Amino acid sequence: MPNEKLGQSPNFSEKVVHLRYCRVVAASETMVLRFDGVDYTLSFVDARFVPQKGFTVIRASEGLISPDFLLWLSLYIGEDAIDPFQEVDTRFVNTRGDFRIDQKSLQRFLAAAERAKRRRWPRWKRELFDNALIYFSAAVRSGVNMMPLNLGFFALSLECLGNVRYGKRDKHFTFGDQHFLGSLTARLAKLKTDPVKKPGVRAFEKRLKADVQLLMNLRNAFYGHSLLHLQKDRSRVVTELRTWAMRYGYERKLANVTFKSDNLKNGIVQKAFALYKLGLRLNRLFLFFSLGLSRNVPFATHDFHILADHRNDEESEFRGIRWKFNFSQVPEKPGAINMQFEITAPEGSVPPKES
């Protein structure tokens, strides 16, 4: 129906995707892709978003944009591309840093997605695989705002993948069984036969399994089990969070200050963005494995970093309010991150109030 207020019909062959946690970097202003027999154009230049902080999906022929196409785009980039009511929110695009989109790589990914759709699986197995994608989509749509609860969605997705891999209906593996890790073992087996690569591969595998263990304990603590009132479980979560922080660059003293047993929830809130990236990268990695893709899995520059990719004078916007952060180095202090910032608002806008 025509939009009476605007005097024109809505364009269902086009969708603007606003990025929240990464900046997109592409070699050209447009990119043509084919999915399920239909051509789509991704345009990275549009007046409706700041460059690198969004893109437009345009269907070449008349008709609706395939929801499946948007779902697979969400998985490839790690950002929600489905929500029809998105708004501009670039407050945290530095969280994951730059994500480079390569046309050939994305087209290979879409081809793998189409092959997965044509697999001759029984209905129950197909539903499990579809649910893994849906849980992932729910996690990225809710984003950091729902942390740490949405870590449960990432975990449910991985649980589904574990049962898809098992392939039988006589037993159900929970996330705690970690049956999905079998795909990791299979993917790394050949690399381990190379004596030069073997040490690095084993180190990567060990780090990844430790991340999975942390995700499981955080899920148990906040998603249904609520075990933080038990001292034993609380201490285990604190220990694993400190180890995780040191695994990704923190000194022991800073890790101990960040995560304390008597202030655990605040520590998790403070590192919500980094822990969100933990669940995101694990879920994306194993979903790629499920498509038969293990080489050149695309990640943003800071997906494996605790800190974000902060840049001076980068403008942020949320609900019509725009501001800039300026970072500068300060003298080192024990247990402190050497960074300070000030907020300046462009003319006509108001900076957010300090909490």
Report the SS3 class of residue 25. Answer: strand
* Domain residue ranges in the chain: 14-118, 122-298, 310-355
Is residue 7 scored above 80 in pLDDT? no
Least confident interval from 2-11, 46-55, 61-70:
2-11
d(CA 17, CA 58): 11
pLDDT band at 343 (very low <50, low <70, confident <90, very high): low
Q: What percent of the chain has pLDDT over 90?
A: 72
Is residue 35 scored above 90 in pLDDT? yes
pLDDT digits (tens, 9 = 90+) for 78-87: 999 999 889 9
DSSP lists the bridge partners of residue 56 as 16, 43
Q: Give the tokens for residue 240.
A: 């694993």
Q: Give the tokens for residue 336.
A: 């402190």
Question: Please, what is the angle between helix 151-166 and helix 272-290, to 10°?
Answer: 20
Q: What is the dihedral of CA 129, 131, 134, 140, to 10 degrees?
A: -80
pLDDT band at 339 (very low <50, low <70, confident <90, very high): very low
Q: Say if CB 39 and CB 32 are below 8 A apart.
A: yes
DSSP lists the bridge partners of residue 351 as none
**46-57 burial code (b ≥16 CB/10 A, e <16):** eeebbebbbbbb
Q: Which of 3, 42, 2, 51 is nearest to 23 (CA)?
A: 51
DSSP lists the bridge partners of residue 315 as 324
pLDDT at 296: 84
Look up the pTM and report it.
Answer: 0.89
Average pLDDT over residues 346-353: 52
d(CA 239, CA 234): 9
Cα four-point dihedral sign 276, 352, 315, 45: positive
Average pLDDT over residues 78-104: 95
